[in-house]
Amino acid sequence: MKTELKFFSKLHVRISLTFLLFSLSIILLLSGSIYHFTSDMLIKNDIVRTRTMVNQTGEYISSYLKKLGDFSNIIAEHKDIKSALAKSSPEALESISSLIHLAKEVDKNISAVAVISKNGFAITGDSDMSITLSEDMMDEEWYKKALASNRMPMLSKTGHSAFASDKGAWTISVYREITGQNNEHLGVVLIDISYNFIEDYIKNLDLGKSGYVYIMSETGDIIYHPNEDIFNDTKKSEELKSLMDGDITDGKVVYEGIINNSSWKLFGVASSDNLKILQKNLTKNILILSCILIILSLFIGIIASKILSEPITRLKIAMIDMDKKWTHIKISTDITEVSELEYEYNRLIDRIKALTENITKEEKARRVFELKMLQSQINPHFLYNTLDTILWLSELNENEAVIKVTSALGKLLRFSLSTDLDFVSIKDEIEHVKNYLEIQKIRYEDMLVYEIDSIDNLKDAFIPKLIIQPIVENAIYHGLRPNGGGKINISFESFDNDIIIIVSDNGKGFDTAKLKEDSRSDNKIYLGGIGIKNVDHRIKLLCGDNYGISIKSAPGMGTKVIIKLREKSS
């Protein structure tokens, strides 16, 4: 989690994400606007396209009906036909049979053409044509309807006689009255067209998968519908009658078209299948384009963020290098903020350097003072006991011993109180220890035995002053004296530029775990009047944190103090 947070806290990542979010917002806004605008345009275009197709289909049907009307006019105005009907002579009508046969051959949709006189004489081009005839045709219902049709086409589901349940037998009939010179009624021209001719004109009308076309007369009669059951479904027929242009039924839009040369209206009921497909393709294309733009925005954002954050990155690297060198940084950039940051940072470096130098001087002075104070500490008990020893030696007239102790004490005090040096030769430090041990040996006599190894290979080495004597003092007071006496051994080792001094005794010993507990509770274990912490601290001040004192001891097993020092040549 921390690694992820650290990654997102980087400047170039934040710039990239900000640019991506901004681009994403723009892309989403544009995509939504484009979809809304284009979808509205598609809807409007679909409405215009569908309305145009419905109107064109109505025009095609109207044009065909006009052609049939013109043909019926040619027959009705034919002088031979008028003459034959006026004479009521069936034989005379035979003269127009060639014209009727020619019409059927030219137009395959014409199923029958007939001329019927008012007296019941008729000639047809189809021997199977079923027409009810009588001497007075005005008594026939279909004949009267034909005269009343006013030359408008009519749906005939009965074939002018018996009812036909087969839709394929239905016809569209066009009637034309034939009149004489004095406008007297002579008969009618009847042209039957196959009912399926309507489907020939509407089959290419694309109204969607569930769309359909129906035709209705001005009186509300359904002329055409792809579902035959509608003709017998009164409820559904009434619903269709109530529909107008622009209405919506079952999620479909109604388009109304006029069929001229008839009393019909054509209604297209269009489903939204095509529109949905277009909208789906539009959505798909917008999504693909949006994804491409998002990827492109991400790529541009990464490049832009790298360019913008590059001066900051160089500034960071320069600052890291500066931590090692403490020098001014120089960043070549035309970004004002980075240049100002560079200037202020360099000023800060100057102030830090000045402050560091002051702190260093103060710390050095403090360390010198601290070292002098540590070095000047002398165990008052040791001094009192030594003077007491001189006193009783004088009382015993041990003049040589008095001289020896007094001389050793003088040298010891002279060495301890000389605070001008932090490092002394190892030879002088051993001499100081010997003076101390001689005083103690005279005092304790045979209870104290000591041995100091040769220092020939270290005679030119310098070590911190007053390091060994406090350890030896601690060995006598806390190791040998409680045990009734013993031996102290001082040995030396050298590794590269390090010196190891080992002060060991065969005294009482102690539990080193107790030493750690006393250290945590700030109870000092004293090494000859100078706390062990102070001695160790002084070594670290002069030699470094890798140097100091370590102790190995166990109850009854004696103690070994290991002093690790940095050698300093003269």
Q: What's the rounded Cα separation, in Å, for the pair 300 and 294?
A: 10
User: For residue 268, what are the β-bridge partners?
Assistant: 213, 255
Same domain, 139 and 37: yes
Q: What's the rounded Cα separation, in Å, for the pair 506 and 528?
A: 18
Q: What's the rounded Cα separation, in Å, for the pair 480 and 378?
A: 21
Same domain, 369 and 385: no
Three-class SS of residue 37? helix
Q: Which of 299, 314, 339 marks a domain boundary?
A: 299
Give one DSSP letter per residue of 54-82, joined into a string.
Answer: HHHHHHHHHHHHHHHHHHHHHHHT-HHHH
Same domain, 336 and 464: no
Ramachandran class of 239: left when φ > 0, alpha when ψ lies in -120 to 50, beta otherwise? alpha
In order of 318, 430, 456, 543, the CA distances from 498 in angstroms are: 37, 17, 16, 10
Cβ atoms 224, 172 nearer than 8 A: no
For residue 243, give every residue at least 6 positions away whose Cβ sits within 8 Å of its Cβ, in sequence order, or none. Answer: 249, 254, 267
Task: Say which CATH number the domain at 482 has.
Answer: 3.30.565.10
- For the beta sheet containing 252-259, the strands, ordered from the edge strand earlier in sequence to the opposite edge, are 222-224, 212-217, 264-270, 252-259, 248-249
Question: Quick one: tokens of 503?
Answer: 């002060």
Same domain, 351 and 398: no
Task: Say which CATH number the domain at 34 has.
Answer: 3.30.450.20
pLDDT digits (tens, 9 = 90+) for 156-185: 655 554 444 556 667 888 888 888 888 888
In order of 27, 279, 385, 431, the CA distances from 285 in angstroms are: 14, 10, 105, 98
Which helix or strand (DSSP H or E) is residue 426 part of? helix 426-444
Task: Give the pLDDT band of residue 502 (cuts 50, 70, 90).
Answer: very high
User: Tell me, what's the pLDDT at 93?
Assistant: 55
Q: What's the rounded Cα separation, in Å, for the pair 443 and 391?
A: 12
Do the domain assignments include residue 456? yes
The answer on pLDDT for 526 being more than 50 is no
Do the domain assignments include residue 130? yes
Q: Give the number of other Cβ atoms within 10 Å of residue 481's Cβ.
A: 17
When comparing pLDDT for 346 and 7, which is higher?
346
Do the domain assignments include residue 6? no
Domain count across the chain? 3
Q: What's the rounded Cα separation, in Å, for the pair 421 and 428?
A: 12
Task: Give the pLDDT band of residue 126 (cuts 50, 70, 90).
Answer: low
Same domain, 253 and 394: no
pLDDT digits (tens, 9 = 90+) for 196-241: 788 888 888 888 888 888 888 888 888 888 888 887 888 888 888 8
Same domain, 416 and 462: yes
Do the domain assignments include residue 506? yes
Task: Give the pLDDT band of residue 397 (cuts 50, 70, 90).
Answer: confident
- For the beta sheet containing 559-566, the strands, ordered from the edge strand earlier in sequence to the opposite edge, are 448-452, 486-495, 498-505, 559-566, 548-553
The answer on pLDDT for 381 being more than 70 is no
Q: Which of 342, 360, 375 marks a domain boundary?
A: 375
When comparing pLDDT for 304 and 558, which is higher?
558
For residue 295, give every residue at least 6 positions away whose Cβ sits within 8 Å of its Cβ, in sequence order, or none. Answer: none
Nearest to 472 by CA among 444, 499, 498: 444
Q: Which of 335, 351, 375 marks a domain boundary?
A: 375
Same domain, 427 and 533: yes
Do the domain assignments include residue 307? no
Same domain, 289 and 348: no
Task: Give the pLDDT band of residue 504 (cuts 50, 70, 90).
Answer: very high
HEC-encoded secondary structure of 450-494: EEECCCHHHCCEEEECCCHHHHHHHHHHHHHHHHCCEEEEEEEEE
Do the domain assignments include residue 120? yes
The domain of 204 spans 12-299
In angstroms, how far is CA 248 from the centroid of its own chain? 44
Three-class SS of residue 196? coil
Same domain, 154 and 233: yes
Same domain, 28 and 50: yes
The percentage of residues in the chain with a pLDDT greater than 90, rounded to a whole number, is 5
The answer on pLDDT for 528 being more than 50 is no
User: Tell me, what's the pLDDT at 230?
Assistant: 82
Same domain, 289 and 330: no
Do the domain assignments include residue 306? no
Do the domain assignments include residue 523? yes
Residue where the block lists tokens 């070095």: 375
The answer on pLDDT for 16 being more than 60 is yes
Same domain, 369 and 391: no
The percentage of residues in the chain with a pLDDT greater than 70, rounded to a whole number, is 83
Cβ atoms 529, 379 nearer than 8 A: yes
Q: What is the mean pLDDT of the chain?
A: 79
